[in-house]
A = this chain, B = another copy of it.
């Protein structure tokens, strides 16, 4: 397991070294090459990944149109959460936009950790809470802000991504067409 994630877990529950060491056998490393999928829509997503390096995005396809829902940068969690939780086919895909390395735990192993030690329950709760709050903020933004406001907000929150992510993915994430995003950008930079 990775140092950064050990730190993260420790910040969520008071683990000692033994507990971390025992748990580390439950985690695995997975490489996902650019354009390949970590999860696919229609299949049950039975793993949870912690991004160590690279960059991924979640998106679903409705009426032939892709909608990007999240970008997973190093330090964040990648999973089709609803599918993972309910063991139903996932709605969304998770695709690597660059070669990415993830620390992965299977659903099975996670449930085992939950049973072994309540502290992992707490970690699990925390991640879902995190997911939830992200989603809530995103929804409020989509519902109450104009396209321009949403773009400005994105600029503040994810300045790095503007450089690396194709604009049409960002447009999709922001709930607008690439053309509209292009025009928003124009109005800002005159």
Interface pair A143/B82, CB less than 8 Å apart: no
With an 8 Å Cβ cutoff, the count of chain A residues facing the other chain is 31
**Chain B hits for A167, CB < 8 A:** none
Interface residues of A in 41-63 (CB under 8 A from B): 60, 62-63
> Does A144 sit at the interface, judged by CB under 8 A?
yes
Interface pair B139/A62, CB less than 8 Å apart: no
Interface string of A109-151 (1 = CB under 8 A from B): 0000010001001101100110111011011101110000000
- The docked-state distance in angstroms from the alpha carbon of A131 to that of B69 is 17
> Does A175 sit at the interface, judged by CB under 8 A?
yes
Interface string of A84-126 (1 = CB under 8 A from B): 0110000100000000000000000000001000100110110
Q: Separation in Å of the A117 CB from the closest CB of chain B? A: 9
Q: Is the interface of A mostly helix, strand, loop or mixed?
A: helix
Q: A63's contact among B82, B118, B144, by CB below 8 Å, is which?
A: B144
Q: Which residues of A contact B (CB under 8 A)?
A: 60, 62-63, 65, 67, 69, 81-82, 85-86, 91, 114, 118, 121-122, 124-125, 128-129, 131-133, 135-136, 138-140, 142-144, 175
CB pairs A–B below 8 angstroms (28 shown): A60-B140, A62-B144, A63-B144, A65-B144, A67-B140, A67-B143, A67-B144, A69-B139, A81-B132, A81-B136, A85-B129, A85-B132, A85-B133, A86-B133, A91-B140, A114-B118, A114-B122, A118-B118, A118-B121, A125-B125, A125-B128, A128-B129, A128-B132, A132-B135, A135-B139, A138-B139, A139-B139, A142-B143
